[in-house]
Amino acid sequence: MAIKEYSLKLDGEKFVSKSFRIREFRCRDGSDKILIDDALLTMLQTVRDHFGKPVIINSAYRTVSYNKKVGGSPKSQHLNGMAADIKINGVSPDKVWEFCNKTFTKWGGVGRYKTFTHIDCRWTVTRWDYRK
């Protein structure tokens, strides 16, 4: 798949998949540039279709400075538009993690956190649990 670059100002309201607008992937530092990997969109749409409820993206693309500010890994998948921290109202992060863990078995990172689930489209299978 491919990573595409968008502008929050020019493209923010456009749909990039059946259920997601480009602005939902923006960096929370207010920057205009947004990177989104097509494979991440596929993952998110799969989650949305399975649960039949909106997927709320807490964090997707991050600039280097914002990633550092929030304590993200220097090699974070967020830096390339390949990751999203998500939640679904009325669905526990554990249930989202369980679905993603069973569904994305050939590639991708899936992380458990207390209030959200991290998914990314890296080429290796990686799982972790930070529910502390």
Where residue 40 sits, what CATH number does that domain have?
A: 3.30.1380
Counting the structural domains of the chain, the total is: 1
**How does 2-20 read in b/e, with b if 16+ C-beta sit within 10 Å?**
eeeebebeebbeeebeeeb
Q: What mean pLDDT do residues 73-88 have?
A: 97
> Which pTM value belongs to this model?
0.95
> 44 lies in which domain range?
3-130
What pLDDT score does 1 carry? 62
Per-residue pLDDT reduced to its tens digit, 43-76? 999 999 999 999 999 999 999 999 999 999 999 9
